Amino acid sequence: MRLDRFDNRGFDRGRGRLVEALWIGVAHPLVASSIPGSGWRRALLRMFGARIGTGVVVKPRVRVKFPWRLVVGDHSWLGENIWIDNLAEVTVGAHCCLSQDVYICTGSHDWSRETFDLVTRPVRIEDGAWVAARASVAPGVTIGAGAVVAFGMVVTRDVARHVIVSLEPGLRTRPRSDGSTT
């Protein structure tokens, strides 16, 4: 790869420079702070274009790259110290839990091209899913309704509905058997 040939000018940031500067300079440090409280975090995210449902919990130290590319359904939880690196849209359904230190990534680079082109793909987490602490979700992944991504997992492809993804010895995925119908 030749990084001197990288050209990101074609990437649409979704908002003008002034809005992005205000987000980075004013709102982002507050949302990402350790100060307790969800209500004012929801309000700031909404002020910058995030579509946040009713009863959403936003814990301290949440980082969101572009709030205008974030949709969160009713009664979902955004855990402490998560990073939503959303160069493309991230949709979190209703009644979802993203536990502490979760990383959601929507961008990467085409390493097969000399110009190391930026590649972005949306991430979708469907209703009732739980992404446990320190898990990472790669660009373009959909996590199905009611699925569980266990502690520390790295998810690089879609997860079916009502499946648990873990690294238990000899087991990668298994059906979720709690009677959930979500």
Chain-centre distance of CA 46, in angstroms?
16
Chain-centre distance of CA 29, in angstroms?
18
**Residue where the block lists tokens 């972005």:** 120
In this prediction, residue 45 carries a pLDDT of: 97
Provide the token pair at 152.
């520390």
Provide the token pair at 112.
């097969």
Question: Which residues share a beta bridge with 136?
Answer: 103, 154
Pairwise CA distance, residues 158 & 27, whole Å: 32
Pairwise CA distance, residues 24 & 83, whole Å: 14
In this prediction, residue 1 carries a pLDDT of: 86
Residues of the chain with pLDDT under 70: 169-174, 178-182
Is 78:90 a contact under the CB 8 Å cutoff? no
- Sorted by sequence, the CB contacts under 8 Å of residue 182 that are 6+ apart come out as 95, 127, 128, 145, 146, 162
pTM score of the predicted model: 0.90
Pairwise CA distance, residues 31 & 61, whole Å: 7
Is 163:174 a contact under the CB 8 Å cutoff? yes
Give the model confidence (pLDDT) of 47-87 as tens digits: 999 999 999 999 999 999 999 999 999 999 999 999 999 99
In this prediction, residue 169 carries a pLDDT of: 59
Chain-centre distance of CA 57, in angstroms?
15
In this prediction, residue 177 carries a pLDDT of: 72
Is 156:137 a contact under the CB 8 Å cutoff? no
**Which spans in the chain are helix H?**
17-22, 28-31, 39-47
Q: 3-state DSSP: the chain helix, strand, coil percent, rounded to 5?
A: 15, 25, 55
